[in-house]
Structure formats: C-alpha cells, structure tokens
A and B are shown apart, each in its own frame.
Chain A
Amino acid sequence: NAGVMQNPRHLVRRRGQEARLRCSPMKGHSHVYWYRQLPEEGLKFMVYLQKENIIDESGMPKERFSAEFPKEGPSILRIQQVVRGDSAAYFCASSFTGGRSYNEQFFGPGTRLTVL
C-alpha cells in the first residue's frame, strides 16, 4: 500500500506563471488536506476536501489559489499568477475518515515550489 504521493517534488516557476500541485491519497482514503510551510515556519492549514467537495477552505488565500479533488484522479492545488511569496513547501495529507473521531492524517513528501 503506497503512501501519499505528491508530484512534482520540486517545481520552479517564474512570476506570473501557474503552478499545479498533485496529490494522490493513500488507497482507501477519501479525505485530503493541503498545508503550506513557509521557510522556517510551521505548517498552515489551507483546505480540506472530500471527493468532489470542498469542506473547509478557511486557510486558502482569497485570490489565485484553488483546489479540487475529483471523483477520479488526484487532488490538485492550483496557484495562478504565482508571486515570490508563494515559494514554500506544500504538503498534502490524507485520512480514512474526517470529523470528530481520531483521524490520523498521513503526509506526503511535499512539493517544494520556488518562484523566481
């Protein structure tokens, strides 16, 4: 059973380009979380998705960022018109259940985005 997979592992973009980050959850997991880690900081929650639904996007910047988790295929975090401040490590986590019970989130290796 493969763990959470993210690709690409490293992504370089110039200012104004688009970045697309992919996350394949663990087999059997239907809950996906995205977190962002700025240099020398902890992880900050961005968005929580279930298949075809955004459940909580309270941590997403209001503009340029979007996320989806289609019925088939990986979850995608999309950043339009990237700026230097978007440079960070983006981590995806998946879980079997969501809600109020114990719910271990398994983390992927992250995508390190560098904006030139």
Chain B
Amino acid sequence: GEDVEQSLFLSVREGDSSVINCTYTDSSSTYLYWYKQEPGAGLQLLTYIFSNMDMKQDQRLTVLLNKKDKHLSLRIADTQTGDSAIYFCAESIPYNTDKLIFGTGTRLQVFP
C-alpha cells in the first residue's frame, strides 16, 4: 500500500540540529525526497536519495535511509530561524508514472 507518515511538530533552538523522521510502506520506491514548504508558498525540493543508498549529505542536510525498516530521516545541522517551515517526505512510485506520495508534513519551529 501507499502510506507515508511523519510526526507533526518539531521545535528546536537556533544552532541545534533538527532531525525529522518519516516512515513509508511501499518497498518498491525508487527515490525518496524531502521538500520544504514555507507559509503560503509552493514546495521546494531540498534533497533526494536513491533507494539503494544509505546516506546522502548536502551541506547542512544529511539524509539517512534504512530500507529494512522503511525509515527515512532528514538532519539539519546548525538550524536557523529561516529553516522554520513544513517539511514533507515523499516517495515516488516506479510504475508508469512518477507520482509522488507525500507524508503529512512536519512543522519545524526554530526559536532563538
């Protein structure tokens, strides 16, 4: 089945690391994504990982994938107030389309 779950809220202090978690159910996923949505705006792709990888690092962002447990996480180092947003994980379904299945979103609040 297609189901992606995330915790709803995360609150961190500026300068700390944030870790946002996601679990998915479709083991045939090829790519997993992290998107950022700021208030009233569309979605911005932050990073993605191919399903045969365990980890991907891109500047302040680190993605970890545990395929056995179907668990994906996004770590943001040195979190800034500008990182406050809703973060969505998504998986793409590799049939004849690449439709994205999104999680419910995690609202990250960064306080000074």
Contact A42 B103 (CB under 8 A): yes
- Number of B positions contacting A (CB below 8 A): 25
Contact B31 A102 (CB under 8 A): yes
Closest CB in chain B relative to A61 CB, distance in Å: 16
Determine, out of B37-45, B53-61, B65-73, B77-85, the stretch whose residues face the partner at the interface: B37-45
| Residue interface bits A39-54, CB-to-B below 8 A is 1, else 0 | 0011111001000000
Contact A109 B41 (CB under 8 A): yes
Closest CB in chain B relative to A16 CB, distance in Å: 27
Query: A48 to B103, alpha carbons, bound, how many Å?
Result: 19
Given contacts A41-B104, A42-B103, contact A105 B98 (CB under 8 A): yes
Residues of B with C-beta under 8 A to A106 = 45
Contact A99 B98 (CB under 8 A): yes
Counting residue pairs across A and B whose Cβ atoms lie within 8 Å, the total is 64
Closest CB in chain A relative to B104 CB, distance in Å: 5
- Does A100 belong to the interface (CB within 8 Å)? yes
Indicate which residue in A4, A42, A48 contacts B102 across the interface (CB closer than 8 Å). Answer: A42
Given contacts A42-B105, A43-B88, contact A100 B94 (CB under 8 A): yes
Query: A48 to B42, alpha carbons, bound, how many Å?
Result: 18
- Does B19 belong to the interface (CB within 8 Å)? no
Closest CB in chain B relative to A1 CB, distance in Å: 16
Query: A45 to B92, alpha carbons, bound, how many Å?
Result: 11
Given contacts A42-B88, A91-B42, A110-B42, contact A105 B96 (CB under 8 A): no
Given contacts A42-B103, A45-B101, A108-B42, contact A55 B96 (CB under 8 A): yes
Query: A98 to B97, alpha carbons, bound, how many Å?
Result: 6
- Does B99 belong to the interface (CB within 8 Å)? yes
Q: Which residues of B contact A (CB under 8 A)?
A: 4, 30-31, 35, 41-45, 48, 50, 88, 90, 92, 94, 96-105
Nearest 4 interchain pairs by C-beta: A42-B102, A107-B42, A107-B43, A45-B99
